[in-house]
Structures are given as structure tokens and as C-alpha cells.
Homo-oligomer: A and B are copies of this chain.
Amino acid sequence: MKNSEKVHDQQSCTAALNAMSDSFYVIGGKWKLRIIISLRNGHTRFNEIQRSIPGLSAKVLSGELKDLEANGLIERKVYAETPVVVEYVITPYSDTLEPVLNALVSWGEQHRNKIREGVF
């Protein structure tokens, strides 16, 4: 899809808006990206993840993990050993989020500087 000039017809605009909403739905909210990053940092177990994110309750973590799994960003592995072990791991698919994360991080950084400088 070429974007050499700005295409502004109704269809493409609505589609773009919906796509944006989808992104926000999947990775938005207080915790989703923090959880993904916790997993990237090597945490795999439920309580381990929870401890790595201050303020995150078990209830919320439980729900967020289900959402992330449903969207293919993480995988839940159950090892039916004597004490059942559950592991959460990021999938290769979650790497596709890189550009989004980078964009968010760099814009946030420069914006924070702008605000700190008292530009507004």
C-alpha cells in the first residue's frame, strides 16, 4: 500500500481507525506491555511475573494472561508433573510488536522532554 500522498477517502480512513483500535485493544491498558516485557526479561511463572510487576494483582494478571494468549502473543505451557508447573512464554509472533514498542517509547521520551522543558 503506497502512501506517497495522503489518501483520505472514507473507507481507508475508517479501516485505519479500526486497525488502531485493534492495536489498543490488544496491547493497551495498564499492564499488557509490562507483562510482555516481564516475560522477555526471562520470567515464566505466574507468581514470578506478579512479583516482578509491583501493583499487579493476581486477579488482573490472570485475566491479562488469558487475553495475551488469545491474541497469540504468549503461550501457556502446563507440565503435569507431581506438582503441576505452569509456564508462560512469549511467542515469536510477539516480536512483530517491536516497531510499535519502539515508536511508543521514542515518542514518549521526546514528549517527556518537551513537557519537562515547559514548552507547553
Complex CA gap A110/B99 in Å reads 13
Complex CA gap A21/B97 in Å reads 16
CB proximity of A105 to chain B, nearest CB, Å = 5
Check A108/B22 contact, CB under 8 A, given A8-B41, A103-B100: yes
Interface size on A, residues (CB 8 A): 42
What is A's interface to B at a CB cutoff of 8 Å?
8, 13, 15-24, 26, 28, 33-34, 37, 41, 70-72, 93, 96-97, 99-112, 114-115, 119-120
Beta-carbon contact of A107 and B111 below 8 Å? no
Give the chain B neighbours of A110 by CB distance below 8 A: 96
A13-B37, A18-B108 given; 20 more Cβ-contact pairs under 8 Å: A13-B41, A17-B37, A19-B104, A19-B105, A19-B108, A20-B105, A22-B111, A22-B112, A23-B104, A23-B107, A23-B108, A24-B104, A26-B108, A26-B111, A71-B111, A72-B119, A97-B107, A99-B103, A100-B107, A103-B104
Kindly report how many copies of this chain are found in the complex they form together: 2
Complex CA gap A8/B103 in Å reads 18
Beta-carbon contact of A20 and B96 below 8 Å? no
